[in-house]
Structure 1
Amino acid sequence: MAEDHSTDHSRLSNPEDNPTFSDDLITQTAPRQASRSPLPQMEPDALFEPATKSSQRRWNEIWEGLLRLGLGETALRTGTIIASIALILLVLWVMGSFYLKGEVASNQGSVMAAPLPTETPTVPPPPFKLPAAALVEGGIPRFAELHTTLPNQARYEMTQYEVENGDTIFGIAEKFGLKPQSILWGNFDILADDPHRLQPGQMLNILPVDGVLYEWHAGDGLNGVSKFFGVSPEDIINWPGNNLSAEKVGELTNPAIDAGTKLFVPGGSRPFISWSAPLISRNDPAKAKIFGPGFCGTMMDGYIGAGTFVWPSSEKWLSGYDFSPGTNHWGVDIAGDSGNPIYATDSGVVVYAGWNDWGYGNAIVIDHGNGWQSLYGHLSELYVSCGSSVSQGATIATMGSTGRSSGPHLHFELMNASGVRVNPWDFLIK
């Protein structure tokens, strides 16, 4: 078969001349090819991202608005309260649904079903028979208690007490439950406010309670007397031991009370009458003349103390009374034996040397020239005299028991420039 080699076939076989592949056809067919291509794959979460972000922005805007209004803290508290209430309701619901629907078993039936106890039979007591006559005659011995203790009863009357050897104001007061002052205030005519006057054999008044015994004087008034002792007139009138009454007394300014009547003032107090030596200056020692023949006249100046005070005796323990303003004892009683040396506590000039009429017996007073003064009482032998200048620690006398004294000891006092007697323990160098 013959082949056709014409030029028309050659042009048709050229791809560029083929109308099927023209630019118009390519342009028209391209969209159809693209429409048939598969869609791209998308994640599921990507579909909700726009909604989630929008919700977050909305809550952020609400929260920022609350903060601008200053309601942020209030909103947090409100939310916390709501959450707490919801949690409580949830717990109550769970408890009611699962735990509180059970039945409580009761054992009342078992208790009621228990048998009652059996009654114990009563046995009648044996008949009583009188003991034999021999036993009745001898009897059962019953001893009386010889030391029956009776309760303390209130006392309204004074009692008497005889002073014994070794007694002190403190010991007697403690024995009767009183203050030491009350022993002195109840016995002024015997002790004169001076505890050194206490002697064995004396009969002391023992007051029923703490207070003062007062002897009524003509012209006294209850208002003035009660004011002096720090009580009211009714305190004196109503005390049973005084045997007074408002009708019997009459007017308080001029009461019907006989002079010399001893009245008890319950709870009363008064200043002590001091029998101690006053401040005796070396410039005017004669003012101590009222204290006894040991006073000194005009004298020259002498040593001045250093203001320090050494122990005035060879012994360093007490005998009798300590420094006790409450019992009108303004010094210390230093124990020892007769003849023990007594030393000058500081340098100075002797302004009193000799007998003292107020109970100190032989006494020495030294003016230390710096406002201080020291006193030494109940001495046996004196080694100095008026106007003597003494050095600190020099022996000035010996210990004794002169004056109102129950045994050998030294009564020692210190007085400052103000005339105030001070506690020697606070100043002595031991």
Structure 2
Amino acid sequence: MLFTIKSPKSERFFLQYFNGFRPHGKNKIEKLFKVGVSFVKALYKYFIKKTAQFLRLFGYLFIYTDKGMRAFKRLVVQKLIWSRGRLGRMVATATVMSIAFFVFLFGKVFNSSRFVNSQEINPIYLANVTDIIPQRNTALTVLPENRQRTEPIVYVVEGGDTLSDIGNKFKISVDALRYVNNLSDLAYLKVGQEVVIPPVAGLVHKVASGDSLQSIANKYDVPSQAIADFNYILDTSKLAVGTELVIPGAKVPEPIVIPSVPAQIRQGPAVDTSASKGWCMWPTTVRIISQYFSWYHNGLDIATPWGSSPPLFACAGGTVTRAGWDPWGLGLHVRIDHGNGYETVYGHMARIDVSYGERVSRGESIGTMGSTGRSTGPHIHFTINYKGTPQNPLNYIN
């Protein structure tokens, strides 16, 4: 009896083949290419799967965030409606405090940014380079021209000075200088004489008993607030007697003029003043006419360049009926009566060389040209009046 021994077959032993990872191909290049393609496919599937999971997670986050915000909004609205505005101040305070805390916490970060301010260059760096020239800026405070002085000053008259020259130098009108220094119409300046110069184009008023800010303002025709501001008056209801106040832009009060009529004026022979005779001569040495006679201008303006004071002459013989200051704009002026109803007037003079009641002859010097009174430059306002009515001087001048 023959026995044959065979290999036992047991289910515990098995052979598993990983054919999915085994490359197929005829050669190594083909096998390597197939392995690469398989890797790329697997990586693409993995990326698609993770992207889908991320988008799903982001969608859930957006949905729940929206629901949370809506729920918070409903809660706030319910609380505000339930409290009927009692929480309004609390909410506003919390908002403002939150903003202030944010600025306090992060303000330094924004302030140090280049978009907010430029960074300063280190001085040590500037000292070691030659292609950068540092620039230093100096801030100057310039006072306005009309506020450079707040106190009157005393000016000592020098040789050749006139009130017009002093006024032009300090930009003060001759009227103001005469009023402040109590100078009369016939007063002349002497070398070494002291003249008070107001600090502005105005006057200086010394407070007397009974004066008030409003009464002073009415007297000089200026706003009371301008006086208070310039003199730094805090209590406008009380003014100390004897205090000197600067009145900016003040007008010289018009004096009450009482004409003095002499007992007798020596009259000379009447001049032949017929228009055909040309009885009046040209009253000065310059022939620049800056303004002619018209219905709104009652005379002839004869001008001269700045810095010169040409002489003035009587255009015909006559008697001086006025020689002094005219408070209504002519400044220093002379009036001459030529008889037969004719009179000549010479205004804005710098100096007067004749006096009241004096007899003058044709061509005699009566003073010099100036810019006193209401004047914008050196000139003479020459007027011929016939029985008080202004005439065109060019009709009578030879």
Name which one, 1 or 2, has greater alpha-carbon Rg: 1
TM-score normalized by the length of structure 2: 0.39
TM-score normalized by the length of structure 1: 0.37
